[in-house]
Amino acid sequence: MGQRIKCKTIFDITVTGVKSHYKTTLIPFVDQSGNHVSDLASWNKSRNKQRNWETLNQLISLRSLPYNISTPLKQDNMWSFEFEVDNLEEITAGQDPVGALKQDCAGVPMILGLDEIGIDTSLLITDSDNANIWFSLDTHK
């Protein structure tokens, strides 16, 4: 049985399902998050939300094979999701059970100008008063 990890961020990581370049033949449509995509601007916004989600998945996958990944939910201008890893040691650094995961994410650029609020940098910050992404071990399994 895996270890459940929680992630929260103020970057927009909405899953939209838009994974390719702009295609006029597909317009108009509603993306997986319910947004209407009817032109290049709305396509790019939907695609960029998906890109942010893909970036976090790739970062998490650098050290482990995450599974049971939940779809990010937005609440109070924060997106959160959970996932499991089989071997917690893969993402641990020192005494921090998610420390290596934090190290891998620190300084990685994300896309701004979506539906996020109050972000003054496009870089992931994992440890400080200015943190904009948080990982924690779910101890309430």
Beta bridge partners of 8: 80, 134
The predicted model gives 20-24 an average pLDDT of 89
pLDDT band for position 120 (cuts 50, 70, 90): confident
> DSSP secondary structure string, the chain?
-PEEEEEEESS--------SS--GGG-SEE-TTS-EE-SHHHHHHHHHHHHHHHHHHHHHTTTS--BSPPPPEEETTEEEEEEEES-GGGG-BTTBTTHHHHHHHTT-B---SSS--S---SB---SSTT--EEEEE----
Query: For 51-66, what is each residue's pLDDT tens digit?
Result: 999 999 999 999 999 9
pLDDT for the residue numbered 141 = 55
For residue 41, pLDDT beyond 80: yes
For residue 37, pLDDT beyond 90: yes
The predicted model gives 11-16 an average pLDDT of 98
For residue 91, pLDDT beyond 80: yes
User: What's the pTM value of the predicted model, to 2 decimals?
Assistant: 0.94
The predicted model gives 93-107 an average pLDDT of 97
